[in-house]
């Protein structure tokens, strides 16, 4: 199955949505760097417009952003993830959508995050298309924080929390993601690497890139 088979990816995430929310809903408590970067995003967007959580899952990161004072819109490919997020956080807005065709107007976001949502894009063409969409929906001088597993392999777990899945997780090189962001017209301003937090997440090296849409 191609990793970027959106219908198949959505079906798998629909199936594991409840387990995902249960197992990862409190993950930020053990991820201090993620919390710091989310705080940066909220400060950046303050008074300028909403923050997009692109690949929002069950909405726990959107909740964190909102509790820091951000106006948030969450987008996810899985309708069940969006349903759970909307049920758990009825004061926030969540939309079913595809990263390569975001259901958001041009320049509508003051900032955005894409935490581990680019890793299901099978080809570099798909990755570039998603980055172009992120650039399109960012307002001038808006920034996006992208997080991904660092490497050059594809992980196929076969099951997650006891549920069979056909999902692949693409580990990405810094060069590949940086090139896609630059191709989209964004300026890569910050690159941060970290080791995994033991007992909190999959034991893979992580990278965060912060990219900015120019003012003109």
CATH of the domain at 95: 3.40.50.150
pLDDT in tens, 83-113: 999 999 999 999 999 999 999 999 999 999 9
Q: Is the pLDDT of residue 1 over 70?
A: no
The reply to whether 91 falls in a domain is: yes
The reply to whether 146 falls in a domain is: yes
Q: Is the pLDDT of residue 48 over 90?
A: yes
The reply to whether 151 falls in a domain is: yes
Is the overall model pTM greater than 0.85, yes or no? Answer: yes
Q: What is the mean pLDDT of residues 151-164?
A: 96
Domain that holds residue 164: 6-212
CA distances from 216 to 33, 57, 141, 152, 156 (A): 31, 32, 9, 34, 41
The reply to whether 157 falls in a domain is: yes
The reply to whether 104 falls in a domain is: yes
Indicate if the alpha-carbon torsion angle 76, 80, 84, 86 is positive or negative: positive
Q: What pLDDT band is residue 5 in, cutting at 50, 70 and 90?
A: confident
User: 199's torsion region: left (phi>0), alpha (psi -120 to 50) or beta?
Assistant: left
Residue 52 bridge partners (DSSP):
73, 112
What is the pLDDT at residue 216?
77
Q: Is the pLDDT of residue 168 over 60?
A: yes
Q: Is the pLDDT of residue 7 over 70?
A: yes
Q: How far is CA 75 from the centre of its chain?
A: 9
Number of domains in the chain: 1
What is the rounded distance in angstroms from the CA atom of residue 201 to the CA atom of residue 33?
A: 13
The reply to whether 174 falls in a domain is: yes
Task: Supply 5's token pair.
Answer: 């088979």
The reply to whether 1 falls in a domain is: no
Q: Is the pLDDT of residue 192 over 70?
A: yes
Instruction: With both helix axes pointing from N to C terminus, report the angle between 6-24 and 79-88 in degrees, rounded to the nearest 10.
Output: 30
């Amino acid at each position: 199955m191609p990793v970027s088979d959106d219908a198949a990816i959505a079906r798998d995430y629909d199936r594991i949505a409840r387990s995902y929310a249960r197992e990862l809903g409190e993950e930020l408590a053990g991820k201090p760097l993620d919390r710091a970067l989310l705080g940066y995003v909220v400060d950046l967007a303050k008074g300028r417009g909403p923050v997009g959580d692109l690949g929002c899952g069950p909405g726990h990161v959107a909740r964190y952003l909102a509790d820091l004072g951000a106006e948030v819109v969450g987008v996810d490919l899985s309708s069940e993830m969006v349903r759970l997020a909307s049920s758990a956080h009825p004061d926030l807005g969540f939309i079913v959508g595809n990263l390569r065709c975001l259901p958001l107007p041009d320049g509508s976001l003051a900032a955005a995050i894409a935490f581990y949502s680019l890793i299901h894009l099978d080809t570099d063409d798909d990755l570039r298309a998603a980055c172009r969409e992120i650039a399109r929906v960012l307002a001038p001088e808006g920034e996006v924080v992208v997080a991904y597993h660092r490497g050059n392999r594809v992980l196929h777990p076969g099951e997650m929390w006891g549920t069979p899945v056909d999902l692949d997780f693409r580990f990405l090189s810094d060069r590949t993601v940086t090139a896609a962001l630059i191709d989209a017209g964004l300026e890569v301003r910050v690159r941060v690497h970290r080791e995994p937090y033991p007992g909190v997440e999959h034991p893979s090296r992580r990278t965060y890139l912060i990219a900015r849409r120019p003012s003109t």
